[in-house]
Structure 1
């Protein structure tokens, strides 16, 4: 038993040696996490109406704002390069890193106290379309999430950052899965008695478990936490680097809040439709784009600090093309199968057919920017790896102003429905990512842009032809062969469509000589390696 425990521990805390293996682990865990998330959304749709869910999803707006500022602003990008730097200055590491953690925690406590007091005023600003009863409930739920969820998520993400800096990705990737399980359990067993309070309490318990499951990270790290406040010059250097990133997150969250405000003015259930369509679009973005982004930062930081600039440039082009190889066809497949996909994930129960159709339409507009949205996360990490957080901020601020303007134009002046907010998002995301590509090309002295354009064109042509064939196949199957009024047949339709789409796309990729096809071979080799490692844990052990 001790031998099994030791081997399991060694496997969980294995340090990865390549960006591909790190990305595979993150992508695999994100798939499981997103599946858990969609099961959660499906169960919420079974137990609560879109009108009720408007309150639940809106309750996260202000807590998410603080979380995004502190985590995506100060931790997920700025903290890791600093931690890597201080690994080489071990005598100062414990004090400096502990000081940063303590200062962030104090800032968080101040935010929470202030926002709890101001919550009624803030809710009236961000959700003006809610009636007084909804507003009262929304204030209560938002306060619970601020106090019960937020501290554990912030502390847990410190542990995530420390683990990722050590190139150990498995345990932090498991934590969100536990988070989803807690919410699902509370909904199933307590929603009849606690109503919407059941998933709210599930979120609090899930956040607590998210933190606790990562405490063993300290066993692989030489870092030892201290309850100190010192090295203020170094702490200030950290925050000075983080400020542009924090400002980027603030304007992004303001933009998301504008979307919430406009959605609440478009009628009951509109925000739920927008929210669910956005979550579905984020599935491939998180599995490919966010996984590449998170996995790449430690490696990019190492390359830059070790002055391996040619390798740095090459990995940018290779990574973008690898992501395009998956994301361009993913976007096309999602547009072609938008309605059955939304029906499978969210339809049924109190989520009726009209809501399904509008969510599918909104989702298709989100999917237009899917490939560029995915590489956006990787491109920002390229800037952060060279300690440039200002450029992404300037580009994001301008593009977010564009998104806000388009959203207001579409909804308030042109009177377009909820899908127009998704169209605005896609247009803005495309502009933002293209600008990052152009500026990065100039900043690092150029990369192989002709190779990037040529291979992207090949991938697009292969995807277009595959999509046309898949569309006609699905039209033939839907109604003539499969009765898609039954959910199980919707699943069969999507499965057949996915297998056909994948087969044709891979064949055309081979035919067109798309070299990114061979990343699948490398991935299969890595998957086999992980399989063998898992088997070693349980075989030959008495």
Structure 2
């Protein structure tokens, strides 16, 4: 499970390998969500409290280490390879320090579970707060193992071994699915979400929360095997002076502030959406976000991760021209597929919802998906722009354009509390889309000033071409959707999981054929570059 990046061909191979692992993991992730909603529902006390508790480790871990590791670790390890030992001492010292911080934070967060959970679920009834706290005790230890997974994985990425980081989450999903199957075998499923908080027993909490945490533990520990495969050995080293950790600390401080801002905004979102408990609330928002993140994870993260290491290498030797070329290529390459993904998911929002929830809940989930998906393209562009700042060792600027977005978002989300309960989740998703788009525009302007240009005209021409090519496919997709039927409970596109998936496949194939056909007619250079290696493989 390794791939070495050498030139554009290597970028393509690494991106494809990363994408393949992400696709398998995401498919299993969707299977997990389908099984979860079939067992505890998408609305109701159990669904919302488990969703809050299972998101807690991600939330707190993100504050402490998540983005800091991504922003700092890869560029610093790339620079540390210039040391006489190839960066080994730096890696051991950095990993030791990070694990100590993670362990201490996880312990404190677990001890403070009632306070943290009570603050996030402030609008929940008391019995649901107590259930959320019980889930939190089982789920919060995930923080340490998420951190361990990210640390080990980012070191592998910096050493150009890209596969394991995206493939081992498959194990996480498998373990979690097995836990859900055990739950269904022992207790009666509740797909409508009618089970009250007081009817959810300690054994139910242990199986749901424990299996989720066991999956994360498995995902992290397995990466030690891949460290050994590339010749790395972790030896704890508590002598932190002398290898430049101070520079990493300065970079991390700005990223810490940025993540504190975004996490606070996320807490406000959860507090407001819980006002809609019994309607489209926390679990619905999380499910729609999972669908939104699918193309981003498969396409943008796979491409940007492969480019990120190379951009960091260019920045370490001051080759700004090649860095800008790589950033432009990453943006144009991801946008080619992300525009199509946006169009397909927008058209298929209701069938997508029908895969996860009963028909009476399809409009609630479908509308949230639509509100999110409009912002997919700027969200993916922002990801590449942010990674470009990180590659040049600038974490200060991302803090300020994130502050800009968070201030706008908190105001918009608080205003959503005034909406009817059926529309609160939709309003929050729309707020995230609008403020995220403005953030992406500001980030592009600031990066252009910093680098003296980012190939903006070429990027803009490509985006205009992609959106123009998507118009006809959208029309064809909507025509096919309404022909299949989407309005009534017995209509083909939403009548069952199977018919919904068949509808999405048919619509997706028609839209993709029209989209790529139009881009070929338009002589898109990015599409030609995308198809050239595929043609070469087919000829061989």
The TM-score normalised by the length of structure 2 is 0.90
| Per-residue Cα deviation, 1:445-477 (whole angstroms, up to 9, x for no partner) | 113222222221111111012211221122123
Higher mean Cα deviation, 179-188 or 112-121?
112-121
Task: Establish whether residue 134 from structure 1 lines up as the match of residue 145 from structure 2.
Answer: no
Higher mean Cα deviation, 117-126 or 249-258?
117-126
Higher mean Cα deviation, 135-144 or 409-418?
409-418
Q: 1:206 aligns with which of 211, 215, 219?
A: 215
**What CA distance in whole angstroms lies between the structure 2 residues aligned with 1:68 and 1:389?**
15
**What CA distance in whole angstroms lies between the structure 1 residues aligned with 2:512 and 2:327?**
26
**What CA distance in whole angstroms lies between the structure 2 residues aligned with 1:338 and 1:320?**
25
Compared with structure 1, are the counterparts of its residues 73 and 487 closer, same or farther at alpha carbon in structure 2 (3 Å cutoff)? closer
Q: 1:263 aligns with which of 250, 253, 273?
A: 273
Question: Deviation at 1:522?
Answer: 4.0
Question: Deviation at 1:425?
Answer: 0.3
What stretches of structure 2 of length at least 5 have no aligned partner?
A: 188-202
Q: 2:106 aligns with which of 81, 89, 112?
A: 112
Question: Deviation at 1:421?
Answer: 0.3
The answer on whether the counterparts of 2:252 and 2:395 sit within 8 Å (CA) in structure 1 is yes
Task: Establish whether residue 152 from structure 1 lines up as the match of residue 152 from structure 2.
Answer: no
| Per-residue Cα deviation, 1:343-392 (whole angstroms, up to 9, x for no partner) | 12x02xxxx32322111001101001111111221111100111001111
Task: Please state whether the residue corresponding to 1:301 is helix, strand or coil.
Answer: helix
| 1:24-423 equivalences in 2 (<5 Å) | 24-49=16-41, 50-51=43-44, 52-91=46-85, 93-147=87-141, 149-191=142-184, 192-193=186-187, 194-221=203-230, 223-232=232-241, 234-269=244-279, 270-344=281-355, 346-347=356-357, 352-412=358-418, 416-423=423-430
**What CA distance in whole angstroms lies between the structure 2 residues aligned with 1:274 and 1:331?**
18
Task: Please state whether the residue corresponding to 1:78 is helix, strand or coil.
Answer: helix
Compared with structure 1, are the counterparts of its residues 467 and 221 closer, same or farther at alpha carbon in structure 2 (3 Å cutoff)? same
RMSD (Å) for aligned C-alpha atoms = 2.2
Task: Please state whether the residue corresponding to 2:71 is helix, strand or coil.
Answer: coil
Question: Deviation at 1:503?
Answer: 0.8
**Which residue number corresponds to residue 537 of structure 1?**
none
Compared with structure 1, are the counterparts of its residues 526 and 232 closer, same or farther at alpha carbon in structure 2 (3 Å cutoff)? farther
The answer on whether the counterparts of 1:94 and 1:226 sit within 8 Å (CA) in structure 2 is no
The answer on whether the counterparts of 1:65 and 1:250 sit within 8 Å (CA) in structure 2 is no
| Per-residue Cα deviation, 1:43-80 (whole angstroms, up to 9, x for no partner) | 00111122111011100233112321344232122111
The answer on whether the counterparts of 1:61 and 1:257 sit within 8 Å (CA) in structure 2 is no
**What CA distance in whole angstroms lies between the structure 1 residues aligned with 2:32 and 2:529?**
32
Compared with structure 1, are the counterparts of its residues 286 and 69 closer, same or farther at alpha carbon in structure 2 (3 Å cutoff)? same
**What CA distance in whole angstroms lies between the structure 1 residues aligned with 2:510 and 2:49?**
40
Compared with structure 1, are the counterparts of its residues 430 and 235 closer, same or farther at alpha carbon in structure 2 (3 Å cutoff)? same
**What CA distance in whole angstroms lies between the structure 1 residues aligned with 2:506 and 2:88?**
54
**What CA distance in whole angstroms lies between the structure 1 residues aligned with 2:144 and 2:496?**
43
The answer on whether the counterparts of 1:292 and 1:378 sit within 8 Å (CA) in structure 2 is no
What stretches of structure 1 of length at least 5 have no aligned partner?
A: 1-11, 533-542
| Per-residue Cα deviation, 1:184-209 (whole angstroms, up to 9, x for no partner) | 01110234244343231112221221
**What CA distance in whole angstroms lies between the structure 2 residues aligned with 1:231 and 1:89?**
16
| Per-residue Cα deviation, 1:266-321 (whole angstroms, up to 9, x for no partner) | 22241111111111111111111222232221110111223332222122222211
The answer on whether the counterparts of 1:399 and 1:432 sit within 8 Å (CA) in structure 2 is yes
**What CA distance in whole angstroms lies between the structure 2 residues aligned with 1:461 and 1:25?**
30
**What CA distance in whole angstroms lies between the structure 1 residues aligned with 2:145 and 2:66?**
15
The answer on whether the counterparts of 1:96 and 1:230 sit within 8 Å (CA) in structure 2 is no
**What CA distance in whole angstroms lies between the structure 1 residues aligned with 2:319 and 2:61?**
34
The answer on whether the counterparts of 2:275 and 2:417 sit within 8 Å (CA) in structure 1 is no
Question: Deviation at 1:230?
Answer: 1.6
Q: 2:499 aligns with which of 489, 507, 515?
A: 489
**What CA distance in whole angstroms lies between the structure 2 residues aligned with 1:487 and 1:216?**
38
Question: Deviation at 1:500?
Answer: 0.8
**Which residue number corresponds to residue 539 of structure 1?**
none
The TM-score normalised by the length of structure 1 is 0.90
**What CA distance in whole angstroms lies between the structure 2 residues aligned with 1:526 and 1:391?**
42
Task: Please state whether the residue corresponding to 2:140 is helix, strand or coil.
Answer: helix
The answer on whether the counterparts of 1:289 and 1:373 sit within 8 Å (CA) in structure 2 is no
The answer on whether the counterparts of 2:276 and 2:424 sit within 8 Å (CA) in structure 1 is yes
**What CA distance in whole angstroms lies between the structure 1 residues aligned with 2:272 and 2:445?**
32
Task: Please state whether the residue corresponding to 1:418 is helix, strand or coil.
Answer: helix
**What CA distance in whole angstroms lies between the structure 2 residues aligned with 1:472 and 1:27?**
31
**Which residue number corresponds to residue 6 of structure 1?**
none
The answer on whether the counterparts of 2:121 and 2:274 sit within 8 Å (CA) in structure 1 is yes
Question: Deviation at 1:438?
Answer: 1.0
The answer on whether the counterparts of 1:119 and 1:139 sit within 8 Å (CA) in structure 2 is yes
Task: Please state whether the residue corresponding to 1:76 is helix, strand or coil.
Answer: helix
Q: 2:435 aligns with which of 428, 431, 436?
A: 428
**What CA distance in whole angstroms lies between the structure 1 residues aligned with 2:393 and 2:208?**
39
**What CA distance in whole angstroms lies between the structure 2 residues aligned with 1:527 and 1:387?**
38
